[in-house]
Amino acid sequence: MNVLSLIDDHRFGCVVQGLRGEDLHDASVRDRLQALWIDKGLIIFRDGDSDPDFHIALSAIFGDLQVHAVKEILVEGRDKLIQLVANPDSSSIVEVNGVERAGFIPWHSDQIYTQQINHGGILKIVDQPDEGGETGFVDQIEAYQRLPDDLRRKCEGLEVIYQLRPRDFTRFLPFQTLRVVKEAAFQAALAERAANGAFPPVAHPLVFVQPETGRKVLNLSPAFALGIVGLPAEEGSALIMELAKILTDESVAYDHSWAEGDLVLWDNWRMLHCARGVRPGDLRIGHRTSIAGDYSLGRFLTADETAAFASFVLN
C-alpha cells in the first residue's frame, strides 16, 4: 500500500495507491487505513482493485454497512450499494447558475435528515461521461478553524433542524442559483412518503468535537437545513446563510475528477460533498456504500419544538 501526498495541497485528503483484496486481511493495513480516515477525512483509492466485492469489503473495514434509508436508490441484488444515476430518462435536470445539469446534488451530509447519520461511504463511478461529473468535498474541521471568534462563540450549543423535503432543500446555497427543469420520476414517490411523515424533523448540533482528536467540527449541511432550534426563523436563517458562505466557498473545496477504478472514501461526520452533475443527455452511474456508526448526537424534536418548527418553517 502506497500512501501519496495530500490532494492538491489541501489540508485534508490523501491518495492510497495499489490496494488489493489480499491487503485487506492484514491487520496493520486495516489499522493504518482507519487512522488515515480519521486524520485526513477523505481517501482516494487508485490503481488497485475496485470490483463490487472489493468495494463492499473495503467499506466494511471502517464499520458495519447499512441499507440506505431511501429504498428507491438501492442497487438490485446488492442492498449494501446505492445507485446514483444521471441519464436523460430518469434523472432530474437542474439549472445551476444558468447551466443545465443532470444528476446535480448540492452541498450536503448524507442522511443528516435522520436521527442517526451514517459515518461515511465509499463511492465508485461505474459509468462516467467524457466531461463533467466531478464530486466536490469540503472539510468542516478546516471550516470551523476559519470562523471568526465571535461566530464560533455564537455557534456553541446550537442545534440545526433538518428534514428531508425533496422539493425544498436548496434554501442555503449562497453561491448557487437553482431552478428545477425536470424532476426525476422517483422524486414524486419520495415526496409522497415525506408528506406522509416518513421523515420527521430532527436536530443535530451545529458544532461537535471529533472524539478521536478533540478537533471541533462545523456540522452544517446546507441542503436539508431548515432552521435553528430555539431561534426565530429570520435569525436562524441568517446564521445558517452566514455559515454557508464560509463553508461552501469554492476556493477551499476539492473537486475530484474521476479516473477509471477510483474509489473515494469520506468521513460523513466531517466532510460535506456535492455532485456537480453532467450535461443533460450524458450518462453517469455511481455506486456507493453507507458505513454505519452513529455519533449519538442527533435527536427527534420534542412536541413543543415540532409545533414551533411547523409554525415558522412549514408555513
Decide: 43 and 256 in contact? Cβ < 8 Å: no
For position 12, what pLDDT does the model report? 86
For position 269, what pLDDT does the model report? 96
Q: Please determine, for residue 6, whether its predicted confidence score (pLDDT) is greater than 80.
A: no
Q: Please determine, for residue 313, whether its predicted confidence score (pLDDT) is greater than 70.
A: no
pLDDT digits (tens, 9 = 90+) for 168-183: 777 899 998 888 888 8
Q: Beta partners for 6?
A: 14
Q: What's the whole-number mean pLDDT along residues 260-277?
A: 96
For position 88, what pLDDT does the model report? 62
Percent of the chain with pLDDT over 90: 65
Q: Beta partners for 275?
A: 105, 135
For position 157, what pLDDT does the model report? 97
pLDDT digits (tens, 9 = 90+) for 97-156: 999 998 889 999 988 999 988 899 999 999 999 899 999 999 999 999 999 999 999 999
For position 69, what pLDDT does the model report? 66
- Mean pLDDT, the chain, integer: 90
- Return the C-alpha cell found at 285: 452511474
For position 158, what pLDDT does the model report? 98
For position 279, what pLDDT does the model report? 92
Q: Please determine, for residue 315, whether its predicted confidence score (pLDDT) is greater than 60.
A: no
For position 40, what pLDDT does the model report? 94
Q: Please determine, for residue 91, whether its predicted confidence score (pLDDT) is greater than 70.
A: yes
Q: What's the whole-number mean pLDDT along residues 5-33?
A: 89
User: Please, is 22 exposed, middle or buried when counting C-beta atoms within 10 Å of its C-beta (0-12, 13-18, 19+)?
Assistant: exposed
Q: What's the whole-number mean pLDDT along residues 86-97?
A: 80
Bigger pLDDT: 159 vs 80: 159
Residue-range domain boundaries for the chain: 2-314
For position 194, what pLDDT does the model report? 78
pLDDT band at 312 (very low <50, low <70, confident <90, very high): low
As a CATH number, domain 2-314 is: 3.60.130.10
pLDDT digits (tens, 9 = 90+) for 190-210: 778 878 888 899 999 999 999
Q: CA 75, CA 121: separation in Å to the nearest integer?
A: 15
CB contact set of 272 (below 8 Å; sequence gap of 6+): 107, 108, 109, 137, 138, 140, 220, 221, 222, 247, 248
Q: Please determine, for residue 46, whether its predicted confidence score (pLDDT) is greater than 90.
A: yes
